[in-house]
Chains A and B, each alone.
Chain A
């Protein structure tokens, strides 16, 4: 569906949600509690009749985003405007009334239906809550809704457990439709379903959209689902948008390096296909203490080299990995390759050259490193490590190898019509970026 010139139906600005972590009363008093930065300043707009897909891996804040949009969890900061009205500032009564316009479809159709109520009561509940229909009219509306989502109206007297997953999800959709909403937030609407049923539900959602003029926000971790259903896509990483734009633009270069890695991971049914999958090094960093600068710099294969440095990108990435590892580690075990069959060896007894080999093996560094300066710095750091001076090694490495990505938090840069990417590669301040066109 083409983007219209209308004003957005839903406008989110700087939406932020921090969870308190591990804090009892005592911890709070002592100031020991930590914050999990689940969502950190997200902006988005949803236009009438469009579908906005949001993708990201587990724990990146997708569900938090969906739920704070509807004020089901209270955001820490930011505003959510529905047709100009700020939901975060609305009174409880006003919010209750506004829930007629914004509805939610849950991920797990087995958990989101009350097992004690019949399907008729589940679908009819919004009608009762908002005094939409009673008696005969209510029964009629319920059977209408069931027909709309492809269920038999005779099913109204059955209980949820008598239905299959796909049918339950249809019940959930009918419940959301009951109040005649304008916007539906779908939190992974098909990820709990069989693949064969996923298509049915996605098509049902598309049919309903054209029939009732709905706007969707679809959360998913499955890129093929998003590609199928969304008009625009936002890629979330650690609570921030990495890239947002029209679906076809996001699925084509230019890419955010993270989006590129995600896209390369889409399975291909062709056994004769050998695409170059991009493997990301390291784990997803903890949202308790997200990385400085660009949040992806700890894993980014295209992490930018500082001015004046010009080495092979893979060597640069390996040196960055070593630097990061040194920062969080305090034993040689963390920076040396594991030797098979050897347990509990005393790494402090290794000779300087043996240590050299092991560290290079762990990080895939060639011997010598192509860049002479880098090789020198590496040698100095290794000397410190061999002497057991961790702090000194850390300082040497950090001083020599610091990417601009660590210092600067990239804004979303415009790279095309309505297509924005949060990566310094697309900042004009770094003009000599190697992979501008992917």
Chain B
């Protein structure tokens, strides 16, 4: 036994030995293909999900049908000449001299029948997609963008900024969403952009709170401090380092809430506060024909005037939910570990 140190020497610190040993322990190139970004990987994952792909196909088909239902003319120039819908959705057919009466059952000439004003339901359902779908997508894009910026600022700066912004948010959450939308529409009047505004006003708060929570988590990461140490400005840190790591739950939330917005628009339409009564929006169509559910003329119920617009709402919302679930799985938004990774293969 000895009390002297250093009788046995560890020589690993000798630079030469380490250098010459390095190839043994070093990592070797296993593949030489480029790496995939996480969105590419997510898309591959998504494509393997059959129900999500089914939803995606349905939404694409419905969007295309709505787009090509009637010609689109911008400033006198026809940019979209196709017309899949056989009749003008607003046209009252017997007024045009056609041999059509109100509540005509589905037939080859009118596959979805006609409604109480003898309008072609098939044309109206196709064309009505334009309202529901576009409001859904526009509202979600705008609300997600507002919520993202708002939540990012609140979460990143914290302190009294956060405190103030979050109390404003609480104010919005204090109202029942649909009721607030209803009030806004009642005040501003009916119309397409009024609806967009109403749903935007209530919709962004949820995203803001979601993204704030994520950002509170992400901003504690050392790479954020590293960016600060490099001298990066706040804007760069937020949008290059914090937001990309916090955005996955937002994408999932957005895809799921397109359906919610469409339902909301239909609900307002059904309450008579959506678009003008004669417009072909799905919810408004239901409202116009709801008395027929109870009793139609002559004792028979003209089911087609409610089933087809209602079915269209159902089909679209369900497809959007399938897509949202698919995105959720593909991004693994619920499992933090994998979200934190980059172009994992």
Residues of B within 8 A of A275 (CB): 3, 5
A202 touching B13, Cβ below 8 Å: yes
Contacts of B221-242 to chain A: CB distance below 8 A: 221-223, 225-233, 236, 240-241
Q: Does B167 contact A (CB under 8 A)?
A: no
A273 touching B2, Cβ below 8 Å: yes
Report the minimum CB–CB distance from B264 to chain A (whole Å): 33
Binding stretch for chain A, among B272-280, B283-291, B303-311, B336-344: B336-344
B223 touching A114, Cβ below 8 Å: yes
A195 touching B1, Cβ below 8 Å: no
A97 to B222, CA, bound (A): 21
Residues of A within 8 A of B241 (CB): 114, 116
A195 to B1, CA, bound (A): 27
B3 touching A203, Cβ below 8 Å: no
Report the minimum CB–CB distance from B161 to chain A (whole Å): 15
Which residue, of A114, A164, A199, has the highest number of chain B Cβ atoms within 10 A?
A114
Contacts of B297-345 to chain A: CB distance below 8 A: 340-344
Residues of B within 8 A of A435 (CB): none
- Number of residues of chain B lying within 8 A (CB) of chain A: 41
The chain A residue with its CB closest to the CB of B24 is A196
A116 to B13, CA, bound (A): 34
Tell me which of A96, A106, A199, A274 contacts B13 (CB under 8 A). Answer: A199
A129 touching B229, Cβ below 8 Å: no
B1 touching A273, Cβ below 8 Å: yes
Q: Does B47 contact A (CB under 8 A)?
A: no
Q: Does A112 contact B (CB under 8 A)?
A: yes
Report the minimum CB–CB distance from B87 to chain A (whole Å): 51
A273 touching B3, Cβ below 8 Å: yes
A161 touching B344, Cβ below 8 Å: yes
Report the minimum CB–CB distance from B222 to chain A (whole Å): 4
Residues of B within 8 A of A272 (CB): 1-2, 7
A167 to B18, CA, bound (A): 15
Q: Does B99 contact A (CB under 8 A)?
A: no
Which residue, of A96, A113, A115, A273, has the highest number of chain B Cβ atoms within 10 A?
A115
A256 to B342, CA, bound (A): 48
Q: Contacts A116-B38, A273-B4 given: A106-B231 contact, CB under 8 Å? A: no
Q: Does A130 contact B (CB under 8 A)?
A: yes
Q: Contacts A104-B229, A125-B230, A162-B35 given: A274-B2 contact, CB under 8 Å? A: yes
Q: Does A290 contact B (CB under 8 A)?
A: no
Residues of A within 8 A of B341 (CB): 115, 159, 161
* In the complex, per-residue mask of A195-210: 1 if CB is within 8 Å of any chain B CB, else 0: 1110110110010000
Q: Does A160 contact B (CB under 8 A)?
A: yes
Q: Contacts A116-B245, A273-B4 given: A70-B229 contact, CB under 8 Å? A: yes
B27 touching A163, Cβ below 8 Å: yes
B244 touching A116, Cβ below 8 Å: yes
Q: Does A103 contact B (CB under 8 A)?
A: yes
Report the minimum CB–CB distance from B206 to chain A (whole Å): 24
A96 to B225, CA, bound (A): 13
The chain A residue with its CB closest to the CB of B11 is A199
A161 touching B342, Cβ below 8 Å: yes
Q: Does B10 contact A (CB under 8 A)?
A: yes
Report the minimum CB–CB distance from A266 to chain B (whole Å): 8
Tell me which of B3, B18, B342 contacts A276 (CB under 8 A). Answer: B3
Residues of B within 8 A of A137 (CB): none
Report the minimum CB–CB distance from A76 to chain B (whole Å): 18
Can you report 20 A-B residue pairs in the complex whose CB atoms are below 8 A from each other? Answer: A72-B228, A103-B229, A107-B222, A111-B221, A111-B222, A112-B222, A112-B225, A114-B241, A116-B241, A159-B35, A159-B344, A161-B341, A196-B12, A196-B25, A197-B25, A200-B18, A228-B13, A273-B2, A274-B2, A276-B3
- Chain B interface (Cβ < 8 Å from any Cβ of A): 1-5, 7-8, 10, 12-13, 15, 18-19, 22, 25, 27, 34-35, 38, 221-223, 225-233, 236, 240-241, 244-245, 340-344
